[in-house]
């Protein structure tokens, strides 16, 4: 499936940047079935909810994917998930994230 270039072009989760079948399954577990449901979401809470639901600590890059798709749906350009790794590490290291 062709990836969307803007949030206005998107109809299905599979069109999100950095999203494949596994991430779609994770999003479905979180009750997200349409891309518009990502707007304004907190990707860190999404990750925590996913880990709690599956009783598994997922790879930290899942944070990065969640950050990328939430930001994309909030209007940012599509960027590779690893673009958000430094942001995630800084956020998780900050005292306010504890």
CATH assignment of the domain containing 18:
1.10.150
Half-sphere exposure of 28 (CA within 13 A, CB side): 10
* Residue 47, pLDDT score: 98
The overall average pLDDT reported for the chain is: 95
Q: Residue 73: inside a domain, yes or no?
A: yes
pLDDT digits (tens, 9 = 90+) for 33-65: 999 999 999 999 999 999 999 999 999 999 999
Q: Is residue 56 one of the residues assigned to a domain?
A: yes
**Does residue 71 have a pLDDT over 90?**
yes
Domain encompassing residue 37: 7-97
Q: Are 65 and 80 in contact (CB under 8 A)?
A: no
Please give the Cα distance from 91 to 58 (Å, whole number): 17
Q: What is the pTM of this model?
A: 0.94
Q: CB burial class (10 A; 0-12, 13-18, 19+) of residue 87? A: middle
């Amino acid at each position: 499936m062709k990836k969307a270039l803007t949030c206005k072009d998107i109809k299905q989760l599979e069109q999100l940047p950095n999203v494949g079948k596994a991430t779609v399954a994770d999003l479905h577990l979180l009750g997200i079935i349409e891309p518009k449901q990502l707007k304004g979401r907190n990707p860190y809470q999404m990750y925590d909810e996913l880990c709690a639901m599956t009783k598994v600590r997922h790879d930290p890059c899942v944070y990065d994917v969640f950050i990328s798709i939430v930001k994309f749906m909030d209007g940012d350009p599509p960027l590779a998930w690893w673009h958000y790794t430094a942001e995630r590490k800084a956020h998780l290291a900050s005292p306010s994230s504890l």
